[in-house]
Amino acid sequence: MNQEATLDECKNLISMDKKIVLIFLTLFFSLAFVNAQKIGVEVQASANDPLIPTYTRSIYPYKWVPIANISGSITVDKSTKLQERYRDNIGGKLGLNVAFDLKKNFYLRTGIGLSFISFKREIQYVDLADPQSGGFTTTTITDPGIHSPDIGKTYLLYTDIPVLAGYKFLKKKLIVNLGFMVSLLTFSEQYIIDPHYNPYNMYEEMIQDNTGLGLTKLSLSVNAELAYQVKQKYSIFARYSRQLSPIYDNDFQYVGKAKYNLLELGAGYRIY
């Protein structure tokens, strides 16, 4: 009953966040359209790298977390740490942007895009204790572990709505954009250890999850972009996005609050 209530509260919160975003975007579009001197439409394509940092924390007080590199028993002490690291893979993005040119080289831009992000999440113990040291400072952890090359692989697809303000330099060829982006998790595939696993059982199980289990569904990031107009309709750009919302919800933040530092390189074509 409590789990159902919590799930309903999460759904209501996400629904409320969507309404707030919709209201804000409606106001943004209205303001931009009324003040625009010219409207342009551009298609963009880019490659990205999520650049997720490594997180480390002490294992004391010890609590079980699903990891994949133990098979049998290990000895740990207060110097032992739990490390969560990410092996980034190259992803991509397709976007359709609408720019509203204002006065004095200023403009506003929004649009919609699909971002594909891929990485592998690895959790392990580091700085293990000497099993011969004995005493009350050491602890023995027994875990059957899972040795699969797929464990931790994660594939995410987000629907992005950027809201940016920009300024054009050098005869409108060099463009600087600053703003934020709202991202809605649209599809996910992750290979994880079953979170309902009881560590006192004999075996862990790996599952392929497509429900977004443990993932933040609606996230916010801040963006900075530098673009150069190569020709009248063609441009190249570099973009950096710093995620403000964690990738995982509280129950799946085993070591740290993992966030993207998304780096993108791409090109655009103005169709209108």
In angstroms, rounded to a whole number, what is the distance separating the alpha carbons of residues 2 and 9? 10
Alpha-carbon Rg for the chain, nearest whole angstrom, is: 23
In angstroms, rounded to a whole number, what is the distance separating the alpha carbons of residues 159 and 137? 49
3-state secondary structure of 152: coil
Q: What is the pLDDT of residue 6?
A: 43
Q: Contact 200/167 with Cβ under 8 angstroms?
A: no
**Cβ burial 203-228 (10 Å sphere, 16+ → b, else e):** ebebeebeebbbbbbbbebebebebe
Instruction: Identify the domain containing residue 111 by its residue range.
Output: 2-270
Q: Contact 89/119 with Cβ under 8 angstroms?
A: yes
Token pair listed for 1: 């009953």
**253 phi/psi in degrees, rounded to 5:** -90, 85
In angstroms, rounded to a whole number, what is the distance separating the alpha carbons of residues 76 and 140? 6
Q: What is the pLDDT of residue 70?
A: 62
ω into 61 cis (within 30 of 0): yes
In angstroms, rounded to a whole number, what is the distance separating the alpha carbons of residues 58 and 117? 29
Q: What is the pLDDT of residue 117?
A: 97
CATH code of the domain in which 9 resides? 2.40.160.20
Domains in the chain: how many in total? 1
In angstroms, rounded to a whole number, what is the distance separating the alpha carbons of residues 9 and 3? 10
Token pair listed for 226: 């530098």
Which segments in the chain show pLDDT lower than 70?
A: 1-37, 61-64, 68-73, 130-147, 197-204
Token pair listed for 216: 């933040």
Q: What is the pLDDT of residue 76?
A: 77
Q: What is the pLDDT of residue 103?
A: 79
In angstroms, rounded to a whole number, what is the distance separating the alpha carbons of residues 36 and 271? 18
